[in-house]
Amino acid sequence: MVDDLEGISVFLTVAEARNFRVAGERLGVTRSAVSQGLQRLEDRIGVALVQRTTRSVRLTEAGETFYEAIRPSVTQVKGALQAVRETQTRPSGLLRITVSSIAESFLSGTLLAGFLETYPDVKLDITITDDEFDIVEAGFDAGVRLGEVIEQDMIAVPVSSDQRQYAVASPDYLARRGSPGHPRDLPTHVCIGWRPRPDTAPYRWEFTENGRDFDVAVDPAVTTNDMGMMIRMACAGAGITFGMADTFRPYIARRELVPLLEAFCPPFPGFYLYYPKRQRQPLKLRALVEFVRKSGKLSA
């Protein structure tokens, strides 16, 4: 029986990762160990489960059948093991969270520092990214995003008050070039834009007028994926940039930046901690959710 079960976790990880190196990283073993463990499983059952090439790994027809058959059972076993582990009195283990780079109030550290002080046996692994993806498939316990981009089948808990986006520029730039009176004037100005990756178009700046949303495709003189770079360029007088009010607030308070077009920038729902619906949530995640709820929304 033990021999029959040996290698199944390796096979499942390879089937989900479709890559021996990534599977090894998830299992905490070498790529060679993954390959050898899978080979032993295939030898025992007498059928090839994975087709390997120099560039890719894919499941054979038998592998696909085997994967679909065992995945629900393995999920149940993992759930049972987790339930047993959670009989301990305090939450513990690694909690993996993906967070939007613009979730300033959450990333300020105040809430997370308080959580770690309350639950010292929990460790946090936080990935900051603006890419949109399936957090379950990627192995995350939860994520923090703007409410409008969270899938409907997720549970979401607010971690900020309503948000706003601003166009901003330095006093020096405005003295030289003047202020836009309407968002549609922006293409005549020097703009500093954002895009998540080099292969994507710059973000279109979003506004609202008379209850109707619209966007403006500016032609940035500078485009980057780093908000810090955008702010530094704007403070240096290079042009107008656009982003979350939370991000710009300290610079506005010091009069390094001036908010523009505020009448066209109404508030909208803020950031949420979101996670998948499960019959039994990990204790460490339940602890974070409860901590967030008791703390209330983080200040804007």
**Judgement on whether residues 148 and 280 belong to the same structural domain of the protein:** yes
| Calpha distance 221→240 (Å, rounded) | 10
E strand or H helix at 265: none
Considering the domain architecture, whether residues 122 and 190 belong to the same structural domain is answered as: no
257 and 172 assigned to the same domain: yes
DSSP bridge partners of 126: 97
User: Is residue 85 over pLDDT 70?
Assistant: no
Clarify whether residues 143 and 81 are in a common domain. Answer: no
Alpha-carbon span 75 to 276, nearest angstrom? 15
* 185 and 132 both lie in a single domain: no
The DSSP line for 277-296 is --SS--HHHHHHHHHHHHH-
- Per-residue pLDDT of 206-217, as tens digits, reads 999 999 999 999
Number of separate domains in the chain: 3
Which of 32, 57, 88 is a domain's end point?
88
Measure the CA–CA gap between 171 and 258, rounded to whole angstroms.
7
Asked if 167 and 205 touch (Cβ cutoff 8 Å), the reply is yes
Residues 144 and 178 in one domain: no
CATH code for position 219: 3.40.190.10
- State whether residue 155 is helix, strand or coil: strand
Stretch (H or E) spanning 5: helix 2-5
106 and 139 fall within a common domain? yes
Q: Are 56 and 137 part of one and the same domain?
A: no
Spatial contact of 213 and 268, defined as CB atoms under 8 Å apart = no
**CATH for 23:** 1.10.10.10
Residue 50 domain boundaries: 1-88
Give pLDDT, residue 183. Answer: 97
Residue that finishes a domain, picked among 35, 69, 88: 88
- Residues 177-214 have pLDDT tens digits of 999 999 999 999 999 999 988 888 899 999 999 999 99
Please indicate, yes or no, whether residues 132 and 195 belong to a single structural domain of this protein: no
Can you tell me the distance from the alpha carbon of 167 to that of 54, in angstroms, rounded to the nearest whole number?
Answer: 49
Work out the pLDDT band at 54, boundaries 50, 70, 90: low
Most confident of 68-77, 147-156, 166-175, 280-289: 166-175
- What is the distance of C-alpha 226 from the center of its chain? 16
- State whether 274 and 142 are in the same domain: yes
Is there a single domain that holds both residue 169 and residue 29?
Answer: no
In the numeric block, which tokens belong to residue 118? 């309350």
23 vs 53, residue with greater confidence: 23
Same domain, 51 and 173: no
